[in-house]
Chains A and B, each alone.
Chain A
Amino acid sequence: MKFRGLAAGVSALLVVAGLAACGGGDDSGSEGDVTLTYWASNQGASLDNDKEILTPELEKFTQQTGIKINLEVVPWSDLTNRTLSAAVSGQGPDVLNIGNTNAVTFQATGGFYPFDDAALAKIGGKDHFVDSAFATAGAPGKPPTSIPIYSQVYALYYNKKMFSDAGLQPPQTWEDLVSDAQKLTDPAKKKWGVVIPGATVNASMHFSFIFGQQNGGDAFDASGKPTFTTPGMVAGVKQYVDLMSRYHVVNPSAAQYSDSAQAAGDFARGDAAMYFAQTSGINVLKQNGMDPEQYGIVPIPAPSGGNDIGSFVAGTNISIFKNTKHLDAALQFVKFMTSDAEQATLNKAYTSLPAVKGVSASFTDDQQKLDTFTDILANRAKPLPLVAGVQAFQANVGGAVVSLIAKAATGAQVSEADVRNALDQAQQKMPA
C-alpha cells in the first residue's frame, strides 16, 4: 500500500514535470532575445571535438546578429531516431543537421521547412552551391528541405610505411587490393590488411552501394522499386564480405565495431594497413595521433573490368524544423553556415569538401590528397538513389551486411547463395 502511494506520488510528479517541460519551449517569443536550438551531427573525431570547432563560429554568429545558439552535438547513431521523434512530436530543435542519405526520407515526412525560391534566394540561391551537393537536398522537382553544408567522398587510406616495408604499391584494382592485403596480414602479430567497421549499419550500406555499383548493380530501378538481388548487387556485397570470409584479411573482431571511429583507431595504431574512409577521416586520424604524412589516399579500386566507382556523394545537410517559432532567425543561421567564410573555416576544420562554389577545398596542404578527393567527387562518385525508401534501404541492406560479416567472423563461410538470401530478405522487408 505504501509502495502504491509512493508510485502514485512519483508518477504524479513525472506527469507534472512532463507537462511543465512541454510548456517550457513556448515562452521565448519576445523579440531581441532569440535563442535557436541547433542539433549538430558528429562530424569530428568526438562530440567534444565538434563542440570545440563549432563554438567559436557560433559566437561569431551571435555577435553579428544577436541571435543566440543553443548547440547540441548528436552522435549519428541517435540522430535519425531523435529527428524522427522530433518530427512526430513537433517538439524539436529549430535547426538541425541530417545525413544527406536521409534527405528524401525526411522530406517525405513533411516535418521540415521546404526552401521555396524566395527562401533559397535569401541564402544565396541555388547557384551558390556545388551542383552535385545540391542534388542531395531532396527529391527532384520538389522544394528542397535540406541544404548541403559538408560534402564528402570515400577513399582508400593506406599506411605508407607498411606498404613500403613490404615493397608494395597502392592498389589500382580490387584484385591488387586483395593480394596486397593478404601479404600484409599476419594474425600472429595482430597485423591485418584491411579494417572495416563491421557492425556499423550505415557504413555497411555505403559499401554495398559502392561495390554494387562497381559490379553494375543498382539498388533501385527507375521506378524506385528495390532491386537488391540483381547479380551486380549480390556480387558487390560478396566482394565486401569476402574480405572477411574468404580472404581473412580483416581482424574478425572488427565484426563488432559499431562505430567507424573504432576502425580508425586500428588504422591509426598501425594494426591495419588499409581503411575505407570518407574525407573527414583526415581529421579523425589526426585526433587519433596519425599525421597525414603517414598515409596515402587513392580511390577505392574496382575489380578489373568493373565500373570505376569509388564513392557516393556523401555529406551533411542542414534543415530547418517546420515547427520553429523563429523562421527568420533560422534562415539567417542557415545563410551564415553556408556563407563562403564559414564554409571555408568549417570544412577545413572537419576536413570535408565545401558545398559552395566560391570556396575550394583546403583541409590539407597535401595537394595530392586534395586532388584525389576532388577527382573522386568529380569522376568516380554516384549519388545515392533519391527515393523515399533510402532510409529503409540503409536499415535493411546495412543490417543484412552486418549479419553476414558477423557470420563470417564467427567462422562460417559466406556463399553467394547466403548473400542473395540475406539481400532477398532485406528486400522483402522494404515498405511496399
Chain B
Amino acid sequence: MAYVSVDRAVKFFTREDGSEMLVLDGVSFDAKEHGITCLLGPSGCGKSTLLNAIAGLEKLDQGGIEFRVSSAERQVMDRKNPKENSEPGTRNPELPGRSPRLGYVFQDPRLLNWKRVEDNLVFAFKGMKIPRESWPGLLEKYLSLVGLLGFRKQYPLYLSGGMRQRVGLARGLAIEPEILLMDEPFSKLDQLTARQLRQDTVEICARLGQTTMLVTHDVEEAAYMGDRIVIFSSRPAHIVEVVENPLEAAKRDLDDFAFIQFKKRLLQTVLKLVEQEGV
C-alpha cells in the first residue's frame, strides 16, 4: 500500500485568449494511508485538477506528488515477492521507478457504452495487466459488491444512471488499486442511491484498506466518508485546514449527535470561507 503526499502543488490554466489563471496556489497535504481523504472545497476550486494531476492526466507547473510505501508495508511486500527484493533499489521505501496501481472513479461514469458491463471491467483489467485467470473472480466479487452481478451482460445504455455510476465504481475498485481516486462520484445520483453507495464505499474501503482520495463539495459527504478532510479555498486554491475525523468510520451515523456536531463544525469552517470570499 502506498500513500500520497502532495507538495506545494502549483498549476496554471491557460485561458482561450492566452492569459493565465492560477488554479492551485501551493497546495500541500498528505493523504491518510489506508483511509479516505476527502478534498472538500467550493465548485471549480481546482480539486479535480489536483486529482487529475495525481492520476497523471495533468502536469503540475510547480511542486510535486510523491507516492510512498511505509517501511513496514515494504517489508511485508518484500517477503511476499522475494523476486522483487533482488532488483536494485527496491529497498528504497520511495517506490523507485514504479508508480502505484491507481483506480479512478469519475464524476460521470465514463463507460465504454459499446461494451457490456463486465467487458468494461475487463478493459481496465487488460490495461492494468491483471492476469487473465483472476478476471472471473474479480468480476464476480466487485460486480456483486455494487449489486450488479445480474446485469453483467447488459450494455450500459440500458441501465439507469445510478447503475451506470456503480459500474464505474466497480471498475475503479476491481483493479484492486493501491490508491483509489474518486471525483464527486455520487454528486449526480439521487439522494437515496447516493446514501447507500456512500455507506457501501466506506465499508468496501475499510475492508480493502487502500488509500482513497475523494473530491467533494458536499460537507455531509465529507464528514461521513472522510477519515481526513482537506478543506480547499476557492480559486486560486490553497489549503485552509486539514481536519481529522474524530469518529471512527464504523461509528459514523448520519442521525447521531456526535456526527451532526462534527458536520456542523465542518460546515462552519466552510461557511466562514465563503463569507471571507464575499468581503
Pair from one complex: no
The chain A residues found within 8 Å of chain B, CB to CB, are: none
